[in-house]
Amino acid sequence: MGEFTFELNDDQKEVRDWLHGFAADVMRPAAAEWDEREETPWPIIQEAAKLGIYSLDFYAQQFFDPTGLGIPMTMEELFWGDAGIALSIVGTGLAAVGVLANGTEEQIGTWVPQMYGDATDVKVAAFCSSEPDAGSDVASMRTRAVYDEAKDEWVLNGTKTWATNGGIANVHVVVAVVDPELGSKGHASFIVPPNTPGLSQGQKFQKHGIRASHTAEVVLEDVRVPGSCLLGGKEKLDERLARAREKARSGSGERVKNAAMATFEASRPAVGAMAVGTARAAYEVALDYAGTRVQFGRPIIENQGVAFQLADMATQIDAARLLVWRASWMAVAGKPFTRAEGSMSKLYASEVAKSVTAQAIQILGGNGYTREYPVERMHRDAAIYTIFEGTSEIQRMVISRAIAK
């Protein structure tokens, strides 16, 4: 267990500076173009793969950083570069976390490498949980997985929505209902291998922000996957379902985690770090602008109204980062989120990103409202942080329940 510290070590600083250089030199110059095109920036993902940024080894190193700060540091720097391109680079990670959280060692070794491919043949993966009628309300999920014992296959039917890389992914991780009577406790996660018949892309969404990241529906029509594609294996699933049924019969209120929630809990501080990166980027643009924009004979930063806004923005960003770092350290140290610290970090950082990017536009005035300056795009991008992987309202619900115990 790493000792908690606010100071990055030399290796972490080296990685941070390396990522910052990639974000500044490769991502930022291309950000406006790919935002307008609303397409997956494959050339930039490939460049990231050549440098080793888009790779299983790199993310494994950051994931297993004993201080817990490797992943949030990575997310902050990449999303400082551009949120849409960054999400295209890191979106595979949610599917990988889904396998790491629920899969066996053999499944992890088999499928996670296929999610990334290599520098000469880049691949992406998709985590498919949300549905048209079941976003935050995972208990309302309708996608079914039925076991065909004679063939040792699972048959999946349903429609998933809001899936990053949905339909274009090499590997899809799909959360489905295996026992409807158990609600969210009757869910399981499945690997859908490449080129599996019956899986297709539905509607591709045209979004307000993060437009360089592909988001689409995934349609599953009699999709058959081998029994070995059930994450964790059938024996473990049967044991978990039996415990859930026994608790339901006995009226026990003990909480049983479902597959989707295990993934989201692990990823919430990382989303907070993404929000910090976007907020920091907008703040830096506003700070630079305020120092050079002259009105009434002096830089506008000398006006107290502008200076105080920037002071609040800087303070909020630092506070958000500290919440993210605390939650990330707690996770790697095995300390339970007894007060929903992971949700706290995601909630606060998300709200800060929306607020700071809006303030940046205000400081730039009319210029901030045009696409000639990046804060307009950053503000559009920031809106997603209060929505995906649990809305701000859901985070408040999780936190309120935790502190009421």
The catalytic residue positions are: 389
Tokens of 298: 């002096």
What are the distances in angstroms from CA 60 to CA 5, 52, 63, 79?
21, 12, 5, 19
Q: How far apart are the first and last CA of the chain?
A: 28
Neighbours of 80 (CB within 10 A): 25
- Angle at which helices 341-364 and 392-403 pack, to 10 degrees? 140
- Helix, strand, coil share (%) of the chain residues, nearest 5: 60, 15, 25
Report DSSP state, residue 252.
Answer: -
Q: How far apart are CA 399 and CA 405, in angstroms?
A: 10
Number of continuous H segments (helices) and E segments (strands) in the chain: 14, 11
DSSP 7-73: S--HHHHHHHHHHHHHIIIIIHHHHHHHHHHTS--HHHHHHHHHHTSSSHHHHHHHHT-TTS-HHHH
Contact assessment for residue 375 and residue 360, using Cβ atoms and an 8 Å cutoff: yes
DSSP 328-374: HHHHHTT---TT-HHHHHHHHHHHHHHHHHHHHHHHHGGGGGSTTST
Q: How far apart are CA 126 and CA 382, in angstroms?
A: 21
